[in-house]
Amino acid sequence: MSAGPVTESPLQYLDEALAQLERDGLHRSLRQLQGEQLPRARFDGRDVINLSSNNYLGLTTHPKMREAALEAVRSLGVGTGSVRTIAGTMDLHMELERRIAAFKKTEASVVFQSGFAANAGTVSALLGKGDLILSDELNHASIIDGARLSRADIKVFPHRDVAALEKLLHETRDVKRRLVITDGVFSMDGDIAPLPQIAALARAHGAIMMIDDAHSSGVLGRAGRGTVDHFDIHGQVDVQVGTLSKAIGVLGGYVCGSKSLIDYLHHRARPFLFSTSHPPRRSGGVPRGVRRPGAGTRADPEALVQHEALQGRAPWPGLQYG
């Protein structure tokens, strides 16, 4: 049976959607960075002060980071050639994960290809149909997508509203498995979650406590350990997600927690299972870190990186840290 004549592209609706974005003033063009990611940079042919980068500490161009990444390529090549569970786990991956776990004061950690993959893969692995996710209304898109992929029920509580969360926990007390999840530092406004109160509620109601600490890593807590350390509530958060793509200056995400949690993610987190592992240049620079010359005993021996900003000195001239 022959089909009728094709009168338009099956993707015609994309042009219509783009036209609507234009009419709504929401269409965007990608800015092009000419050169390195620096505080003063050149975008689209214009020299500007760059206030939009996630490179909080200036580590993306640090000489020690460059040196370590180049050495990793020279000694191990440009890629790993496999997923982690078959033939793609290198010594440097294991070293990095040991360093991250020590840095975050947890039993173990696992690295993902991005922070988005870490959140989405973890949430969708831990929860399933019949379970419940309680999520702050301003949580990151990766948390939202992970919640949808899990097929668990989702209830959203108003931003940073501890009383509303407590009410939801009480109303859903008959649900066997529940996950409370919040950003540590919220990416759009920079406000901090009331984590001690949220974690206490989760524990009192027998719920799993999870935090996305991407924007607080390198910023809050001792040596930039994040929100859990900032509030000194180690051991009260079951799942900590972070990123290497912001303050640490490279690329990737990670999950920290108990050995059982990480072992489970090795078996059930689909982004980990079905993605080629980090190339050496990505993972090689971080374990070696950046040590501030002359830091001596003032340096934190467990810090993921040693850097002027983490010792109270700004890496960028004229920029002061509070």
Q: Which long-range contacts (CB under 8 A, 24 or more apart) does 285-288 make?
A: 285/65, 285/66, 285/68, 285/69, 285/72, 285/250, 286/68, 286/96, 286/99, 286/244, 286/248, 286/250, 287/92, 287/95, 287/96, 287/99, 288/64, 288/68
Residues 249-292 have pLDDT tens digits of: 899 999 999 999 999 999 999 999 999 999 988 776 665 543 43
* CA 20 – CA 232 distance, rounded (Å): 48
List pLDDT tens digits, range 201-258.
999 999 999 999 999 988 899 989 999 999 999 999 999 999 999 998 899 999 999 9
- Other CB atoms within 10 A of residue 229 CB: 19
Nearest residue to 179 (alpha-carbon basis) of 210, 148, 144: 210
Q: What Å distances lie between residue 89 and 59, 110, 312, CA to CA?
A: 25, 11, 36
CB 289 within 8 A of CB 69: no
pLDDT tens-digit map of 118-143: 999 999 999 999 999 999 999 999 99
User: Is the pLDDT reported for residue 19 higher than 90?
Assistant: yes
User: Exactly one of 140, 205, 215, 230 is catalytic; which is it?
Assistant: 215
Is 187 an annotated catalytic residue?
yes
Please tell me the pTM assigned to this model.
0.87
What are the strands of the beta sheet with 33-34, ordered from one edge? 33-34, 40-43, 46-49
Closest CA to 109 of 275, 304, 321, 320: 304
Q: What is the pLDDT of residue 322?
A: 29
- Burial environment of residue 6 by CB neighbours within 10 A (0 to 12, 13 to 18, 19 or more): exposed
Among 246, 278, 283, 307, the one annotated catalytic: 246
**CB neighbours (10 Å) of residue 264?**
16
Is 52 known to be catalytic? no
Residue 312 has pLDDT above 50, yes or no: no
pLDDT score, position 135: 98
Q: State what percent of residues in the chain have pLDDT above 70.
A: 86
pLDDT tens digit sequence for 33-87 = 999 999 999 999 999 999 999 998 889 999 988 888 999 999 999 999 999 999 9
